[in-house]
C-alpha cells in the first residue's frame, strides 16, 4: 500500500476555504486517493476520492497533482461543524494514519 503523509493539525477561520494537503509519493498508477473525516469518536465518513482528475462533490473538492504524488482536499467554506480529523489514504483501503486534525474557529 502506498503510504500517505499529512500534517498533524491545521486551523481555519469559519467561512474561509480549508486546504488540507496529503503526500502520497509512492502511489502506483491504479491506486485511488480517498479522503475520510472523523468527527469526535464517530465512525469515519467518506468524503471524496479520485485517481488522476480533479473531483468535486457536494462536500469538497479534490485536487491531485499531475504526477499524482500529492493531493489537496478543499472545503470551500469551512464551518464549525467541519472540525474533525481528516484522513487521506490510498487504495487498497487498508491503512489509516493519524490524519490531520482540522480546527475551524470563529
CA dist 95 and 4 (Å) reads: 9
Q: Taking CB under 8 A as the rule, does residue 98 contact other proteins?
A: yes
- How far does Cα 103 stand from its chain's mean position? 14
Closest residue by Cα to residue 35 from 12, 67, 11, 57: 57
# of chain residues touching other proteins (CB under 8 A)? 21
Residue 68 beta carbon to other proteins: minimum distance, rounded to whole angstroms: 15
Q: Return all residues near 97 (Cβ < 8 A) that are at least 6 apart.
A: 3, 4, 5, 6, 87, 88, 89
Q: 103 is written with which cell numbers?
A: 480546527
Question: Residues 18, 22, 27, 34: which binds other proteins (CB under 8 A)?
Answer: 34
Binding pattern for the stretch 44-83 against other proteins, x by CB under 8 A and - elsewhere: xxx--x-x--------------------------------
Q: CB of 14: closest distance to other proteins in angstroms?
A: 25
Cβ atoms of 76 and 58 within 8 Å: the answer is no
Stretch that binds other proteins, among 14-22, 66-74, 75-83, 97-105 (CB under 8 A): 97-105
Give the residues lining the site for other proteins (CB under 8 A). Answer: 30, 32, 34, 36, 41-46, 49, 51, 87, 91, 93-99
Amino acid at each position: 500500500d502506498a503510504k500517505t503523509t499529512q500534517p498533524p493539525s491545521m486551523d481555519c477561520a469559519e467561512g474561509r476555504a480549508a486546504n488540507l494537503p496529503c503526500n502520497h509519493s509512492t502511489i502506483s498508477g491504479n491506486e485511488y486517493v480517498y479522503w475520510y473525516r472523523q468527527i469526535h469518536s464517530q465512525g469515519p465518513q467518506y468524503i471524496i476520492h479520485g485517481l488522476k482528475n480533479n473531483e468535486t462533490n457536494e462536500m469538497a473538492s479534490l485536487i491531485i497533482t499531475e504526477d499524482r504524488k500529492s493531493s489537496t482536499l478543499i472545503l470551500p467554506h469551512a464551518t464549525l461543524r467541519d472540525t474533525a480529523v481528516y484522513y487521506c489514504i490510498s487504495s487498497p483501503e487498508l491503512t489509516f494514519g493519524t490524519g490531520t486534525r482540522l480546527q475551524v474557529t470563529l
